[in-house]
Amino acid sequence: MLALIDGDIVAYRIGFASQSKDKETGLVKADPKSYAIHSLQLYVNGLIDDIGCTEYKIFLSPSKNYRNKVRDDYKGNRKNTPKPIHLKAIRTYLISAYKAQVVKGIEADDALGLMQEKDGSTCIATVDKDLLMVEGKHYHMVKKTHTTVAHEEGERFFYQQMLTGDTADNILGLKGIGPVKASKLLDGTNREDWDSMILDAYIEHFGYEEGRMRCVQNSQLLWILQKDKLMPMDFTYE
């Protein structure tokens, strides 16, 4: 089995674990770089063993991707959030020692989605909930659990996010709709009417022009690229 590993998650987790913040001064102090790299080696090697794979590929995101062109405020809530001190060194080591690939124009999430096979020959390893819209095997890095996402489950997760948005990525959804309410709305609507229900809700919330625009933009921001599968929403409804 081929493990498809979210290198962004690995790099940030090890980076933040290799530093601490002084409670009195608020200053951040990092462990020696060699310690961070050693922690990285232990983590990645242990992860590969835990997944039980015969081979692996690690993917890293570039600084910009196509979603930044869809909306310039994509992930804008993270602009002033300090990155781990050793992040660059950790990414460099992942590339040199583990042949991690920095993807171009897309995010690491998309690379995982595009590489994922439905026959069980691959397994996505991450903690990012966004990947739950991708059919196939999954491994949760923190919970250390294996799950399988069915086609219907993955598609439903995407539609649920269309209603809720994603605050972590600064994607504005519909006010007052969280996961529970979104699930109830989907349950109470025939599958063939999900597109029109969601589009109507955006228009009601934002107005006709902005509602349609936001709905299209959010579908482009939220959808994880996948092999042989297009984003399912149809915007021809009037």
| Residues 26-77: tens digit of each pLDDT | 899 999 999 999 999 999 999 999 999 999 999 999 999 999 999 999 999 9
CATH fold match for the domains 2-149 and 151-222: no
CA distance 125 to 146: 9
Q: pLDDT digits over 181-223, tens only?
A: 999 999 999 999 999 999 999 999 999 999 999 999 999 999 9
Q: pLDDT digits over 92-136, tens only?
A: 999 999 999 999 999 999 999 999 999 999 999 999 999 999 999
Coil/strand/helix, residue 72: coil
pTM: 0.95
| Residue at 36: amino acid letter | A
CATH of 151-222, one of 3.30.70, 1.20.1070, 2.60.40, 1.10.150: 1.10.150
What ranges do the domains of the chain cover? 2-149, 151-222
CA distance 134 to 150: 8
CATH code for the part of the protein at 2-149? 3.40.50.1010
Coil/strand/helix, residue 138: strand
Question: What's the burial of 227, exposed, middle or buried (CB within 10 Å: 0-12/13-18/19+)?
Answer: middle
